[in-house]
Amino acid sequence: MGKPLFHGVIPPISTVFNEDYRLDQVGMGKLIDYLIENGVNGLFFLGTGGEFSQLLLQERKEIAEFAVEYVNHRVPVLIGTGSTSTHEAVELSQHSEKIGADGIVVINPYYMKLSEDNLYRHYQEVCDAVALPILLYNFPAFTGQDLTPDFVLRAVKEHPNIVGIKETVDSVGHIKEMILTVKEKFPDFLVFSGFDDHFLQNLSLGGDGAISSSVNFAPHLAVGLYDAFTGGDLTKAVHIHRQLAILSRLYQLDQPFTNVIKEATKLCGIGINTAVLPPGRPLEQKKKKELLRTLEKASLSLRT
């Protein structure tokens, strides 16, 4: 049996902007090419690191269209279509299907907490609106509401186009329960870790890969860990895991952390514009120095 369409290392790619906050197609293309050349297994556009929550509806569609066309089937493309509005999530999901995306990633509505039944109906409407494969996106620190293993199991039972989940959670125990609860009954259900320091544990527990922001600037680490683990070289996998654990500190350097990822990408030699959308701001010089120290500690090759 071959690997599923979505597996391994799928970076939540940064959206590259010009200084006027418009999509920088040249810079975006440069980052896409770099990641594909370094062996990623797919690309996820318009996730948290893609600054989807600060974009207008039409801007999200524009970026999705550019992504699908530019990638041109070189790797699978996932588009983030989550929204606080069910109608908008449906519209974006249908748009992604129309333009030829390979799948969508749907974070649960944030700001207002929903009853479990209303949350379920939200996902039900999205699932019923498209035939595309859907990854759920669980990020309770940002949404304020956890997608529990029992909730996910119910959704997967009734909606076969839900094929997996991105688990951006603090506890690896949550990932373990997701795997034991859902994958036990649906072995093809995909579980991706969101934080760098959970990647190896996720694979060890039977998970399927990582969707982590550090892949934007250090794809060789995550790709190397995945290849080492699947190839049976656990010593190498543990060595890389220790490097990734150092990088996990970067997410606390500033909030939102999108500026940190872009500055790290530039420091690692990919010449992109580091502009971020307000309310994000340029990374302060003091924090840039701390970023540099962390990257050096992780033994990354830098251009300063």
Task: Supply the residues annotated as catalytic.
Answer: 48, 111, 137, 166
188-200 burial string, b = 16+ CB within 10 Å, else e? ebbbbbbbbbbbb
Report the C-alpha gap between 262 and 275 in whole angstroms.
8
Q: What are φ and ψ of residue 83, in 5° steps? A: -160, 160
Q: What tokens does 180 get? A: 């034991």
Report the C-alpha gap between 7 and 228 in whole angstroms.
15
Rg over alpha carbons for the chain, rounded to the nearest Å, is 18
How many angstroms separate the Cα of 174 from the Cα of each of 47, 142, 150, 157, 246? Answer: 21, 16, 11, 20, 22
Report the C-alpha gap between 276 and 226 in whole angstroms.
30
Report the C-alpha gap between 157 and 304 in whole angstroms.
51
